[in-house]
Amino acid sequence: MSWNHLKRFGAGAVLAVAISPVWGAVADVPESQEPIKIAVQEAAGQYFNAHILGRVLEEAGYTVEYISAGYYPQVQGVADGDIHMALGLWSSNIGEGWMELFDSGEVLDAGEIGYMGVETWYANDAALAACPGIENDIMVLNDCAQALATAETFPKGRLLDYPIEWGTTNELRIVALDLPLVSQPAGSEGALVAEIKSAEERGEPLLIQFWSPHGIMADHNLTEVGLPEYFDGCYEDPAGGVNPDATYDCDWSAARIWNTAWPGTPDQWPVGYRILQNIDMQPQDQIEMEDAISKGADMDAYIEQWLADNQDRWQGWIAVAQNP
Amino acid sequence: MDGAGVVPSRGGRKDLVVWAVTFALIPASIVLAADHAWLLRIEEGAGLPIPWLFDTVMDWFTGIFKPVFRAVSWLVEQPLYGLRAAYGWLPWPVVLIAVSTLGWVAGGRGLGAFCGLGLAYIVVTGYWDEAALTLALVTVALPLALGGGLLLGVGGHRNANLRRLIEPLLDFMQTIPTFAYLVPCLVLFGFGPTVGVIASATFALPPMARAVMLGLGRIPGEVVESAVMAGVNGRQMLWLVKLPAAMPTIILGINQTILATLSMVVIAAVLGSGEDLGWEVLATMRQAKFGESLLTGLAIVFVAMMMDRITQGLARRSGRPPGAPRTGWFGHRYPVLTTVVLACLATLALSLLMPPLRSWPQAWVVLPHEPLDAAITWINTHYPEVTDSIRNWTLFYFMLPLKIGLDQVVSPFSWGFALTPPLIGGYAILVTALAALAARLAGWRGALAVVFAGIVYYFGLTELPWPAVLVPAAVLAWRVGGWRIGLFALLALAFMLASGFWLRSMLSVYLCGSAVAICIVVGVSLGTWAALSARVSTLLRTVNDTLQSIPLFVFLIPVVVLFKVGEFAGLLAVVMYAIVPCIRYTEHGIRQVDPSAVEAAQVMGCTRLQLLVRVQLPLALPEIMLGINQTVLFGLAMLVVTALVGTKGLGQIIYQSLANGGFGEGITAALCMAFIAMTADRVIQAWSLRKKREYGLETD
């Protein structure tokens, strides 16, 4: 590094300290000049969260780089240090092989994103009309299952299920609750969304395993159906619940949504890592964002707007990270 | 393949005895399976710990060789990042001028205009930056695939032992779905664009290697002899004599390799190749945005077609003798080149002053996806009964009987009546009558084929006890292709049985088989039509090229919207992709029928229909069979993609393995898939060769 570079860098650092009234003076942020690499996926919700984190880190004084990555491959990227931070892993679909990387410490568990994932069965408006009361009690299906039937499932109704590889438990649930349903796996998120759109266009009833928050909820009305509530031990102990002889006689448990980081992150950017741990998003943020985007808002402009509107929140994350 | 093993087709009595015994086994196994289900019906997952074995070996392998692969990864990354920066920096008008000129030089005005329009499409739709990343990936992967293919091809040509090793390796590279070795690839090479490059190159290499081997093998002896007399040494012989002489065949390989590389773009995006065109396809598919994903897919099609047409044109040009040497100063000697370079420099300078020439403004982007989405919505809202009845009809009368058998499908809900004993008797009489008819038309082999189809249709492929499928398949391979191919088929099927994926394999065979049956009916008809009409031929060629280079993920969404998730949606997706070779080879086969045979038939007073059915189609049959062979391979490759719309079978296991971060399960399922593909390939090739010999079309 030449003297000129050093001088310019020094001036920049002085300037940065001068204009950062709250945190600039407290710790030597950034502890490393290396950019922090954050994984971004092709889904709007994850993009939003990742860029909020990135912008907050930038506000704290870090340089950030976004790496586009597939959902599963990103975990390997985090283990190797090619990605430093990744947000929003769902406990319901990260398989055991990937979890081993957490157990062995090859990737870090950086805490929850701030909200739990809701996973359950949803009915569209046509299904609510065909099965009145399904939003309160799933047992009304016994009288209206044929309205949900397709060629493969007749005379039983069809539950459009998660792809097998996401680890669905609905077949057990259908047996435990003795419902006239057949679970048909959809294969991918795109297929699930396409079915929701298609059913709406046709006005056909649809019963679907889905999750919230999700962008589709901004455009399409999906109502949670009345499965017996989840309770501790429902998945393990047959005795509890409506069916004393079966496990899974209840709704899905809430999914843990957590963030992960490369093990070198806390050493290289201690404050940055604590910011990741402090991040606290809410389902409302997702719902409002999806709504704005579906109405044609520009994502990057919306992120800046969000930062301006929620200054207290994210400045709090930084402040706590500065003074643990 | 060795010619000595081929059984003569009219081998008579021995053949009949073998088949009689084989067919006696089918009812025997069905009857026995009722009492000995544990032996004759293999449950899912009950098998030897083959997946565990693969996992263990892979753990050991990655433990030792990870640093080596990481070094390779680093090496590949350097040119990739350089190219990304370079392509991203170039202003679009410069690229447009340069590439259009290249197209013009390579293939005349038409190709030049095509390149210009294709690039303009990418600019206007706002996919320029994404296309630059994709192109960088292809620029690195393509030389790797071509270089590797050349190396393997030359090696295989020089050394027969090596060739025996290389050929199955190429088969595996082409038939094992990439998703199956994704996890170890990630662990070995690390996360990043390299994995995508390596995966693309691996998949795209085999056509090149095969073309090189084929081309070098076909060089006339005189060429080599005269070169020897001229005193060339070994290296000169290869580079200056043999390879140039084999060039026409090698060019075909290069084109297939280009298409294969671009077909991997979406999968490379899953592996972290960056925000390129493939990523864009994935993102839009995930949100079920059909219009946008189709428009992105078209950008990939344009890139593929431009690369394909330009290389073909250049290759054709290089065959021409050079013109008289030009004299004078540089600009005088190369007027076109000079003008283009000057024009590029001028636009480059201009682009520094005018930002829209550097990067197309977001506000000017035109992405006409609404009409496409509206078209699908229109069909969906106006004709739900039509789409539903197509789907239900196909499921009830065709797919479900093949899968689980008439005995389970026929019910008042599906067929309108229940299956009673008199009806079963009627079905048996019908099959017998059809078999008798087939015996008259095609001999006792045809009758046996009808009987077997009748059995499968009644009991269902997944419901038959395993010996009833395994033994006839192995015997067929043996009788058609000789004992080597028979043994291969037996071992391949035994692997499916032993690994516990027998039922999954049958599900895949059933889905792929249904799709191939449809491809044959529709594809051969379309191919025949194209052979008879130049206009249809031109139209179909464009459709075929598009279907072959567009990422198939694009079609999954409209198929699900119109036909719901499930096996029918999967069937349609497979048919769309796998029908292409069937059309192409049929057209080619009919067109290349010896004109003297056609003339002779006309002189003898054949009508147009008779000419087609009695002369042209039979003579084209060997070629059509090769097309069907490709269709089978394409169809199997597609099964992994159709798992995304909810088909079961081996493809699903491969995804499941990815979600679990595992390797063994996925690679075992992938090997089952590869074995199905390789068995079908061997048997059909052997059969086609035999037919060709019968007709005297090929001798060796």
What are the strands of the beta sheet with A118-124, ordered from one edge?
Answer: A181-185, A157-161, A207-212, A118-124, A222-224
A101 domain residue, yes or no: yes
Point out the residue among B270, B377, B656 whose CB comes nearest to the CB of A165: B656
What are the strands of the beta sheet with A85-90, ordered from one edge?
Answer: A64-68, A36-40, A85-90, A257-261, A108-112
**CB contacts, 8 Å: B191 with chain A:** 69, 73-74, 76-77, 80, 82-83
Does A72 reach chain B within 8 Å, measured CB to CB? Answer: yes
From the CA of B186, how many Å to the nearest CA of chain A? 7
CA B395/CA B510 separation, integer angstroms? 12
Verify whether the Cβ–Cβ distance A76 to B662 is below 8 Å.
no
Tally Cβ neighbours within 10 Å of residue B236.
13
Phi, psi dihedrals of residue A175, rounded to the nearest 5°: -70, -45
**CB contacts, 8 Å: A202 with chain B:** 380-381, 384
CA B545/CA B258 separation, integer angstroms? 12
Tell me whether residue B21 is exposed, middle or buried, using C-beta atoms within 10 angstroms of its C-beta: 0 to 12, 13 to 18, 19 or more: exposed
**CB contacts, 8 Å: B564 with chain A:** 150, 195, 198
Nearest chain A alpha carbon to B276:
A68
User: Looking at the structure, do residues A148 and A169 belong to the same domain, yes or no?
Assistant: yes
Does A96 reach chain B within 8 Å, measured CB to CB? Answer: yes
Distance of CA A323 to the CA centre of its chain: 28
Does A231 reach chain B within 8 Å, measured CB to CB? Answer: no
Tell me whether residue B108 is exposed, middle or buried, using C-beta atoms within 10 angstroms of its C-beta: 0 to 12, 13 to 18, 19 or more: exposed
A37 domain residue, yes or no: yes
Residue B490: enclosing H or E segment and its boundaries? helix B483-498
From the CA of A224, how many Å to the nearest CA of chain B? 21
* pLDDT at site A265: 95
Among A40, A67, A68, pick the best mutation site for testing chain B contact (most B Cβ within 10 A): A68
The reply to whether the predicted model has a pTM over 0.90 is no
User: Looking at the structure, do residues A131 and A204 belong to the same domain, yes or no?
Assistant: yes
A19 domain residue, yes or no: no
* pLDDT at site B259: 84
Give the architecture (CATH level 2) of B66-319: Orthogonal Bundle (1.10)
**CB contacts, 8 Å: B289 with chain A:** none
CA B393/CA B386 separation, integer angstroms? 10
Verify whether the Cβ–Cβ distance A97 to B660 is below 8 Å.
yes
**Contacting residues for B697 by C-beta, under 8 A, at least 6 apart:** B619, B622
Verify whether the Cβ–Cβ distance B644 to A166 is below 8 Å.
no
A6 domain residue, yes or no: no
Grouping H, G, I as helix, E, B as strand and the rest as coil, residue B174 is helix
For residue A155, pLDDT beyond 90: no
Q: Which two tokens stand for residue A209?
A: 């395993």
Tally Cβ neighbours within 10 Å of residue B342.
11
Distance of CA A140 to the CA centre of its chain: 31
Verify whether the Cβ–Cβ distance B286 to A82 is below 8 Å.
no
- Say if residues B185 and B193 touch (Cβ distance below 8 Å): no
* pLDDT at site A54: 96
* pLDDT at site B328: 59
Nearest chain A alpha carbon to B392:
A151
CA A82/CA A67 separation, integer angstroms? 9
CATH of residue A283's domain is 3.40.190.10
Verify whether the Cβ–Cβ distance B288 to A185 is below 8 Å.
no
Q: Where are the domains of chain B?
A: 66-319, 499-700
Cβ burial A45-57 (10 Å sphere, 16+ → b, else e): bbbbbbbbbbbbb
**CB contacts, 8 Å: A150 with chain B:** 564, 566
Tally Cβ neighbours within 10 Å of residue A171.
15
Where in the sequence is the domain holding A41, given as residue range(s)? 27-116+256-322
pLDDT digits (tens, 9 = 90+) for B504-521: 999 999 999 999 999 999
CA B609/CA B614 separation, integer angstroms? 8
CA A284/CA A290 separation, integer angstroms? 10
* pLDDT at site A223: 95
**CB contacts, 8 Å: B395 with chain A:** 151-152
User: Looking at the structure, do residues A176 and A82 belong to the same domain, yes or no?
Assistant: no
Last residue of a domain, one of A224, A247, A279: A224
Verify whether the Cβ–Cβ distance B561 to A194 is below 8 Å.
yes
Tally Cβ neighbours within 10 Å of residue B374.
11
Q: Are strands A207-212 and A157-161 parallel, antiparallel or unpaired?
A: parallel
Which among A58, A37, A13 is positioned nearest to A265, based on CA atoms?
Answer: A37
From the CA of B412, how many Å to the nearest CA of chain A? 11
A247 domain residue, yes or no: no
From the CA of B82, how many Å to the nearest CA of chain A? 17
pLDDT digits (tens, 9 = 90+) for A260-277: 999 999 999 999 999 999
Tell me whether residue B215 is exposed, middle or buried, using C-beta atoms within 10 angstroms of its C-beta: 0 to 12, 13 to 18, 19 or more: buried
User: Looking at the structure, do residues A318 and A287 belong to the same domain, yes or no?
Assistant: yes
DSSP result, A57-68: HHHTT--EEEEE
Verify whether the Cβ–Cβ distance B272 to A67 is below 8 Å.
yes
B280 to each of B130, B265, B292, B313, B360, how far by Cα in Å?
8, 10, 9, 30, 18
Specify the amino acid at residue B625.
M
Does A187 reach chain B within 8 Å, measured CB to CB? Answer: yes
* pLDDT at site A309: 95
- Say if residues B84 and B133 touch (Cβ distance below 8 Å): yes
Domain count, chain A: 2
**Contacting residues for A67 by C-beta, under 8 A, at least 6 apart:** A37, A38, A39, A40, A77, A82, A83, B272
User: Looking at the structure, do residues A52 and A135 belong to the same domain, yes or no?
Assistant: no
Phi, psi dihedrals of residue B52, rounded to the nearest 5°: -60, -40
**CB contacts, 8 Å: B274 with chain A:** 68
CATH of residue A199's domain is 3.40.190.100
Does A190 reach chain B within 8 Å, measured CB to CB? Answer: yes
For residue A22, pLDDT beyond 70: no
* pLDDT at site B492: 96
**CB contacts, 8 Å: B269 with chain A:** 68, 70
Does A44 reach chain B within 8 Å, measured CB to CB? Answer: yes
For residue A3, pLDDT beyond 50: no
Among A89, A107, A197, pick the best mutation site for testing chain B contact (most B Cβ within 10 A): A197
Point out the residue among B192, B413, B565 whose CB comes nearest to the CB of A160: B565
User: Looking at the structure, do residues A94 and A122 belong to the same domain, yes or no?
Assistant: no
**Contacting residues for B490 by C-beta, under 8 A, at least 6 apart:** B470, B474, B477
Point out the residue among A44, A73, A95 whose CB comes nearest to the CB of B186: A73
For residue A181, pLDDT beyond 90: yes
Q: What is the ipTM of this complex?
A: 0.85
CA B214/CA B209 separation, integer angstroms? 9
Instruction: Specify the fold of B499-700.
Output: MetI-like fold (1.10.3720)
For residue A279, pLDDT beyond 60: yes
Q: Which two tokens stand for residue B211?
A: 């073309």
In this prediction, the residues of chain B whose per-residue pLDDT falls under 50 are 1-9, 700
